[in-house]
Amino acid sequence: MFPESRHTGEPIWRHRPDATGALAGVRIVDLSRVLAGPLCTQMLADHGADVIKIEPPFGDETRQLGPPFDEEGVAAYFNAVNRGKRALSLNLAAPEDRRALLVLLEEADVLIENFLPGTMEKWQLGYESVLAPRFPRLIHCSISGFGDSGPCGGQPGYDAVLQAMCGLMSINGTPQSGPTRIGIPIVDHLTGYAAMNGIIMALYHRERTGRAQRVETTLFDTALSLLVPHAANWMQSGKTPQLLGSAHPNIAPYDSFQAKDGAVFLGILNDAQFAKFCACIDRPALASDARFKSNAARLVHRDALRTEIEAAFAGREKAGLCQRLMDEGIPAAPVNTVPEALNHPHARHRGMLVERPGYRGLGVPIRLHGSPGEPGNNPPRFNQNNEIKKSALRPEGERQP
């Protein structure tokens, strides 16, 4: 699937000779910064890809987005999405540094970047005009806010701005709080997954056809794709979705409820689960109450249902209550803090908390049982692997292993 080096003894793409993940042998040049692109390439690195992260002279902005900072002064934010990579700095406005990049691309499988549309062309690195003819097996993944055409084409995109623009904030929050940003950069995060999926599909297509292609993802498209089921509800009913707090627009009870010592989230999907739930909390009559006999009725009477449920929860502690409900097959969980979630015994059982000298991070969420990935090496220091540039700029005959 991946061609042998044309430079005998060339060490640049020999960083992970023992990688065993599903993507072992895939070589990626990562020009992206901040979150969506770096998260994408970290996930690819976790599954064996060899990723060279190229930063501008001022570095990836997330190195400075703290506190907190590690003992070397690097923000935890950067470390969260950059493990498993090598790093060097190139100024792509400089011809010599562009030449070093082109040497790396001779044997790369994927180039990923998240510059404003037109930036690569400004540097004489456009995909259609330069890269595709010169490197016919190179897959180019571009991540941008809005793409390069249309009313918003070429404009910068940021997660929270897209949450606001694409309706996500309008359905997150309560009438008291007003529209609220979702507490994680969910648009960036999902765009990183979309880019990863696009790259893998393009690699598969190249394997079957021999043809590479450009992969494009935008924060705008990704944000709109998150509007499930709210977009479908509006398309069918014509009613604008409203703020519901933690509640679900189509299901009840599917919300957070107050117990004696904190909040519990219930996720009851159907009438049979609701009847079992009512028996479990010693309120079996609720299941036959006309207001609550069907999901549609429960949605109409959700406020009355909340009153009944919280009255039943008032004397119960959340841990014991949730355990009993889950034992009966009723989806329920205490509303945990981040430390409580990461210290949960099941998080450790699943390997979702990585702890080793000099690094703590989240585990690998995608499990392949035949070719498992693993968390890559600790995140690189700025320009840690500058020898890559030096090697790339040496005349081909002078490159040594």
Q: What is the average pLDDT across 357-374?
A: 95
> How sure is the predictor about 6, in pLDDT bands with cuts at 50, 70 and 90?
very low
CA 21/CA 19 separation, integer angstroms: 6
% of the chain beyond a pLDDT of 90: 91
Asked if 143 contacts 114 with a C-beta cutoff of 8 angstroms, the reply is: yes
Whether residue 262 is found in the same domain as residue 133: no
Is position 350 within any domain? no
Greatest Cα pair distance, the chain, in angstroms, is 84
Tokens at 73, concatenated: 């002064």
> How sure is the predictor about 18, in pLDDT bands with cuts at 50, 70 and 90?
confident
The secondary structure element, H or E, covering residue 307 is helix 302-313
Is position 238 within any domain? no
The answer to whether the bond into 68 is cis (omega within 30° of 0) is: yes
- Helices 36-46 and 186-209: crossing angle, nearest 10°? 50
Query: pLDDT digits over 24-77, tens only?
Result: 999 999 999 999 999 999 999 999 999 999 999 999 999 999 999 999 999 999
Candidates 18, 188, 282, 289; catalytic one: 188
* 94 pLDDT more than 90: yes
Residue numbers of the domain that contains 203: 27-225+355-398
CA 125/CA 7 separation, integer angstroms: 23
Asked if 43 contacts 124 with a C-beta cutoff of 8 angstroms, the reply is: no
Tokens at 299, concatenated: 């949605």
Whether residue 160 is found in the same domain as residue 79: yes
109 catalytic per annotation: no
DSSP string, 207-261: HHHS---EEEEEHHHHHHHT-TTHHHHHHHH-PPP---TT--SS-SSEEEEEETT
What global pTM score does this model have? Answer: 0.91
Query: pLDDT digits over 306-336, tens only?
Result: 999 999 999 999 999 999 999 999 999 999 9
Instruction: Cite the DSSP H helix spans in 90-180.
Output: 95-105, 119-122, 132-134, 159-165
Whether residue 187 is found in the same domain as residue 94: yes
Question: Which residue type is seen at 122?
Answer: K
Whether residue 60 is found in the same domain as residue 178: yes
Whether residue 333 is found in the same domain as residue 362: no
- If one counts the domains in the chain, the total is 2
Residues in the chain, total = 401
Whether residue 67 is found in the same domain as residue 151: yes
- Tell me the pLDDT of the chain averaged across its residues: 93
Whether residue 76 is found in the same domain as residue 138: yes
The answer to whether the bond into 67 is cis (omega within 30° of 0) is: yes
Is position 368 within any domain? yes
